[in-house]
């Protein structure tokens, strides 16, 4: 393959581990994103006036009760997805890595997702799953971006490719009709991913992943958004409905609009 040694090394790491964690490609874009969250939170929580943004995010559980969390999260999700330029900034934090791992003609998820996991909150758990099992394309990757340092049970876990290959051979016996039973059979094999603010995680969403009870003393804030090559196969989530092209090149635009002359 005609790729550089650096590109080859990154690709081999992704294929071997199922993910990469790297410093964001554009720190100014990341800071801009977190500033948008800071403004939204300060507008919603006047009592947080004078507290730095990192402390607000890590300690949002002191201002928002578990019973109020889902409504609060949905309002924030709606707000960030209406901010001009937000998706472009999100793309910029991972652009270099996406071009190596996925390609330079990309489709991006139309809406960015947000996870807020309070300490000891069992209402925000994400059972072990693979997005491909529910109809996503195996050609997608997830760009997972934390707004705070994520570590231990404040982070997410992923089953490595080698272990997943073994799981597929015994899936019926291990799953046994329950995601929790499945997790119990692989919990010693999953890898917990540490991702600090200023870093970005890109992972294979076809691998089983999820989270557990956040037993740390801080709240997790993380966003996620899927990317794929425009011309790779789609699953249930189609272009124009769930994805939209963001980096089409001139030759592709020309080719997609080309029509043979009418000779009738």
pLDDT in tens, 142-160: 999 999 999 999 999 999 9
Name the maximum alpha-carbon separation found in the chain. 73
pLDDT at residue 89 tops 90:
yes
Structure tokens at 227: 């990317």
Sheet containing 191-193, strands listed edge to edge, beginning at the edge strand earlier in sequence? 191-193, 156-158, 209-210
Averaged pLDDT of the chain: 95
Spatial distance between the Cα atoms of 95 and 23, rounded to a whole number of angstroms:
12
Q: In the chain, where are the structural domains located?
A: 5-246
pLDDT at residue 47 tops 90:
no
> pLDDT tens, 200-231?
999 999 999 999 999 999 999 999 999 999 99
Spatial distance between the Cα atoms of 208 and 186, rounded to a whole number of angstroms:
10
With bands split at pLDDT 50, 70 and 90, how would you rate the model's confidence at 170? confident
| Domain 5-246: CATH class, spelled out | mainly beta
Q: What is the pLDDT of residue 188?
A: 96
Q: What is the pLDDT of residue 239?
A: 92
Q: What is the pLDDT of residue 73?
A: 95
Please state the pTM of the whole predicted model: 0.94
> Element (H or E) spanning 200, and its range?
strand 199-203
């Amino acid at each position: 393959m005609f790729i550089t040694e650096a590109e080859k090394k990154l690709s081999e790491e992704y294929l071997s581990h199922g993910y990469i964690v790297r410093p964001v490609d554009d720190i100014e874009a990341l800071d801009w994103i977190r500033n948008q969250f800071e403004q939204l939170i300060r507008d919603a929580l006047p009592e947080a006036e004078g507290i730095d943004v990192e402390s607000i995010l890590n300690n949002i559980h002191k201002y928002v009760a578990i019973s109020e969390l889902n409504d609060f999260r949905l309002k924030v999700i709606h707000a960030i997805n209406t901010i001009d330029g937000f998706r472009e900034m999100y793309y910029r934090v991972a652009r270099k890595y996406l071009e190596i791992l996925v390609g330079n003609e990309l489709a991006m998820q139309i809406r960015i997702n947000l996870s807020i996991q309070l300490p000891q909150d069992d209402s925000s758990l994400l059972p072990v799953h693979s997005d491909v099992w529910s109809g996503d394309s195996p050609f997608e990757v997830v760009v997972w971006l934390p707004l705070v340092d994520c570590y231990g049970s404040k982070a997410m876990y992923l089953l490595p490719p080698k272990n997943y290959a073994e799981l597929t051979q015994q899936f019926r016996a291990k799953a046994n009709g329950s995601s929790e039973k499945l997790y119990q059979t692989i919990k010693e094999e999953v890898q917990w991913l540490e991702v600090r603010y200023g870093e970005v995680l890109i992972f294979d969403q076809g691998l089983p992943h999820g989270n557990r009870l956040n037993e740390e003393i801080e709240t997790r804030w993380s966003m996620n958004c899927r990317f794929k090559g425009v011309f790779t196969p789609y699953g249930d989530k189609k272009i124009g409905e769930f994805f939209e092209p963001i980096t089409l090149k001139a030759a592709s635009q020309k080719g997609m609009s080309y029509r043979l002359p009418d000779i009738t």
